[in-house]
Amino acid sequence: MWVTSSRPRTELLAGVGVPADTNRGVAMTEHAVVIVGAGPTGLMLAGELALAGVDVAIVERRANQDLIGSRAGGLHARTIEILDQRGIADRFLSQGRVAQVARFASIPLDIGDFPTRHNYGLGLWQKHIERILAGWVGELAVPIYRRRQVMGFSQDHTGVDVELADGQSLRASYLVGCDGGRSLVRKAAGIEFAGWDPTTSNLIAEVELAEEPEWGIRHDVHGIHSLSRSEDGLVRVLVTEQHVDRPGEPTLGDLSEALVAVYGTDYGIHSPIWISRFTDMARQAASYRTGRVLLAGDAAHVHHPAGGQGLNTGVQDAVNLGWKLAQVVKGTSPASLLDSYHAERHPVAARVLRNTMAHIAILRRSDERAKALVETIAELLSMDEPRKRFAGMMSGLDIRYDFGEGHPLLGRRTPDLDVVTANGPRRVFTLLHDARPLYLNFGEPGDFDISLWADRVQQVEARYAGPWELPVVGAVTAPTAVVIRPDGYVAWVGGRTQLGLADALTTWFGPPATREYRGQCRGSRGGTGGDGGRVADFIER
Ligand SMILES: Cc1cc2nc3c(=O)[nH]c(=O)nc-3n(C[C@H](O)[C@H](O)[C@H](O)COP(=O)(O)OP(=O)(O)OC[C@H]3O[C@@H](n4cnc5c(N)ncnc54)[C@H](O)[C@@H]3O)c2cc1C
């Protein structure tokens, strides 16, 4: 079963994130959850698990968090909201540039009128996003085994043995592959990566040029190309290649060849800091889970960067999975809860794949017909309803998980309302900071009885007189109570009765505690369930 603390951590780690080099032959180290990959997805997932009190560790082959070169350029509104739900959005907002970043086929989609505190996106390079996330994970004391490469794993009915390149191994109750598009975990698990082969290939690089280039964006029959200054004063090159089937890692020769084909010269290119290749390959894991092994982020889905959705989707995968996995390893929910992770997140990424393929079908051509198509779409998107729909999709604010028919809030993100509680004014997102389920009652105090879940679910009596508005959907009827999952999605909406409340609490947070168990909780003041005793006491008042 799962373990509450790792062993022998001191032998394997010389301080968090710095592995000792003299650790061959030590006993197998155990954690409840091992995550492969300290990219944005793995870091976010580790933070979520640590907040839930789960013993989690990350294995990462990179020596440190430095990321050479630029990948993702920022965050969409829903991701900013998710970070706000954990009280860390300001760390990102203070270092980036707030702007209207949502686009479809390069057509800007303004979300300034959406009912959210974050009716914008954030321009912030991935290296900064990772650095800030890693700082948060460090505060939560998650060990990161750096300079360690996972080579394989084997799972049995109680856990997973994870093999590292240095001959050591780790034991975990669950293994999560957040190891990027070429995921070893996905391959070793034998999970099909179904989808579409690339039709176009781009090189992206930071270099120095001997000659002054043609700055800016150029469209031609091959696609889009651009030359711009990076924040470090280097030249950022984006160039569409003539071929899509180049094997291996990209070289300076490949870059030179691609530039000559487009511009007739390579401008005396030299001293590359990094060169990377991306394509419009669109693939998705057929299953996000096999037994005790799960996938998240690029390991589960890859697509063209158009629309800037990859990192955002991965971070949101992590927040969907984190609390579920925590409940399963703690034994409060059955393992079948993990199936809802695939059920909810697979369609979200499938939609991302679909819209990136549409993007590319439109953008890769630059003839008069393609221009006419873009103009036609721009005309459509200038109308309010289509603009809201597409902006809701690209910003992630319209995501609705399928929890069946019901109130429009069901399965959607909770609005971050300013409510008044017994402890004074609070934002709903503030009540989610410690990633615990929330029962928010707007009716008479004690209207509904959730005491059998009091060890897991925080109950807050609240007052709110303002409107309930959702992006894209608009105004909705005010509920008398809501159950909000730790990821901020509404799992139950109360009307005049508590119909379905017990089922929803059981589905999402496990079966009710017995009366005897509740007695123990009160007696021990939160022994098993964190501050369950305090919550129970609060409800009894
Ligand atoms: C040019 C470009 C532009 C992009 N622009 C955007 C954008 O604007 N917005 C956006 O949202 N997304 C964008 N993306 C996508 C974004 O970069 C990825 O979606 C994101 O990095 C995925 O995060 P991840 O944590 O899932 O995987 P990764 O960032 O790939 O992290 C995986 C980690 O796992 C480690 N790892 C891999 N294998 C092993 C192993 N066997 N053992 C140990 N460690 C291992 C790696 O070292 C790495 O640190 C862009 C991508 C590219 C290429």
C-alpha 276 – ligand 1 centre gap (Å) = 12
Range(s) for CATH 3.50.50.60 in the chain?
9-67+131-194+283-352
According to the model, what pLDDT value does residue 532 have?
A: 28
Coil, strand or helix at 334: coil
Q: Confirm if 255 and 203 have CB atoms less than 8 A apart.
A: yes
Q: Which amino acid is at 485?
A: R
Is pLDDT at 529 greater than 60 in this prediction? no
Q: How many angstroms separate the CA atoms of 2 and 11, rounded?
A: 20
C-alpha 469 – ligand 1 centre gap (Å) = 34
**Closest ligand 1 atom to the C-alpha of 184?**
41
State the pLDDT confidence band at 516, using cuts at 50, 70 and 90. low
Helix (H) or strand (E) holding 461: strand 458-463
Q: Per-residue pLDDT averaged across 188-211, rounded?
A: 95
**Closest ligand 1 atom to the C-alpha of 299?**
26
Q: What is the mean pLDDT of the chain?
A: 89
Whether ligand 1 lies within 6 angstroms of the CB of 345 is answered as no
**Closest ligand 1 atom to the C-alpha of 185?**
41
Coil, strand or helix at 94: coil
Q: Quick one: 70 exposed, middle or buried, by C-beta within 10 A (0-12, 13-18, 19+)?
A: middle
Q: How many angstroms separate the CA atoms of 441 and 447, rounded?
A: 8
- The residue count of the chain comes to 541
CA pseudo-torsion sign 8, 12, 14, 15:
negative
Q: Confirm if 346 and 354 have CB atoms less than 8 A apart.
A: no
76-80, 348-352, 529-533: segment of lowest average pLDDT: 529-533
Q: How many angstroms separate the CA atoms of 208 and 271, rounded?
A: 6
According to the model, what pLDDT value does residue 172 have?
A: 98
C-alpha 180 – ligand 1 centre gap (Å) = 5
According to the model, what pLDDT value does residue 347 have?
A: 98
Whether ligand 1 lies within 6 angstroms of the CB of 486 is answered as no
Nearest alpha carbon to residue 314 among 201, 138, 184, 176: 176
Angstrom CA distances, 375 to 26, 223, 307, stand at 64, 17, 18
Whether ligand 1 lies within 6 angstroms of the CB of 309 is answered as yes
pLDDT top residue among 145 and 70: 145
Interior angle at CA 98, CA 299 and CA 396, nearest 5:
40
Range(s) for CATH 3.30.70.2450 in the chain?
201-279
Q: How many angstroms separate the CA atoms of 67 and 273, rounded?
A: 11
Q: Report which protein residue has its CA nearest ligand 1's atom 4.
A: 72
Q: Specify the CATH architecture of the domain 418-540.
A: 3-Layer(aba) Sandwich (3.40)
Q: Report which protein residue has its CA nearest ligand 1's atom 5.
A: 72
Is pLDDT at 24 greater than 50 in this prediction? no
C-alpha 310 – ligand 1 centre gap (Å) = 8
Q: Report which protein residue has its CA nearest ligand 1's atom 20.
A: 311
Q: How many angstroms separate the CA atoms of 136 and 329, rounded?
A: 22
Residue to probe by mutation, ligand 1, list 64, 225, 238, 311, most atoms within 8 Å of CB? 311
Q: Which residues contact 454 (CB under 8 A, 6 or more apart)?
A: 513, 518, 521, 532, 535, 536, 539
State the pLDDT confidence band at 496, using cuts at 50, 70 and 90. confident
Q: Report which protein residue has its CA nearest ligand 1's atom 2.
A: 71
C-alpha 521 – ligand 1 centre gap (Å) = 42
Nearest alpha carbon to residue 452 among 363, 387, 519, 524: 519
DSSP string, 145-214: EET--EEEEEE-SS-EEEEETTS-EEEEEEEEE---TT-HHHHHTT--EEEE--S-EEEEEEEEESS---
Superfamily of domain 9-67+131-194+283-352: FAD/NAD(P)-binding domain (3.50.50.60)
Nearest alpha carbon to residue 490 among 435, 395, 417, 408: 408
Whether ligand 1 lies within 6 angstroms of the CB of 407 is answered as no
Our CA dihedral for 480, 486, 489, 492, rounded to 10 degrees, sits at -40
Q: Which residues contact 233 (CB under 8 A, 6 or more apart)?
A: none
Q: Which amino acid is at 317?
A: D
Taking domain 201-279, whether its CATH number is 3.30.70.2450 is answered by: yes
C-alpha 301 – ligand 1 centre gap (Å) = 11
Is pLDDT at 196 greater than 90 in this prediction? yes
Is pLDDT at 1 greater than 60 in this prediction? no
Is pLDDT at 16 greater than 60 in this prediction? no
Q: Per-residue pLDDT averaged across 44-53, rounded?
A: 98
- Tell me the Ramachandran region of residue 492: left when phi exceeds 0, alpha when psi lies from -120 to 50, beta otherwise: beta
Angle (deg, nearest 10), helices 77-85 and 310-330: 30
Taking only the tens place, the pLDDT of each residue in 221-253 is 888 899 999 877 899 999 999 988 887 889 999
Q: Confirm if 144 and 89 have CB atoms less than 8 A apart.
A: no
369-378, 403-412, 525-534: segment of lowest average pLDDT: 525-534
Q: How many angstroms separate the CA atoms of 98 and 122, rounded?
A: 5
Is pLDDT at 15 greater than 80 in this prediction? no
Taking only the tens place, the pLDDT of each residue in 79-96 is 999 999 999 999 999 999
Taking only the tens place, the pLDDT of each residue in 439-494 is 999 998 877 789 999 999 999 999 999 999 999 999 999 999 999 999 999 999 99
Q: Which residues contact 175 (CB under 8 A, 6 or more apart)?
A: 33, 34, 35, 36, 153, 155, 160, 162, 185, 292, 293, 294
Whether ligand 1 lies within 6 angstroms of the CB of 178 is answered as yes
Taking only the tens place, the pLDDT of each residue in 293-314 is 999 999 999 999 999 999 999 9
Whether ligand 1 lies within 6 angstroms of the CB of 75 is answered as no
Nearest alpha carbon to residue 392 among 17, 45, 65, 116: 116
Whether ligand 1 lies within 6 angstroms of the CB of 149 is answered as yes
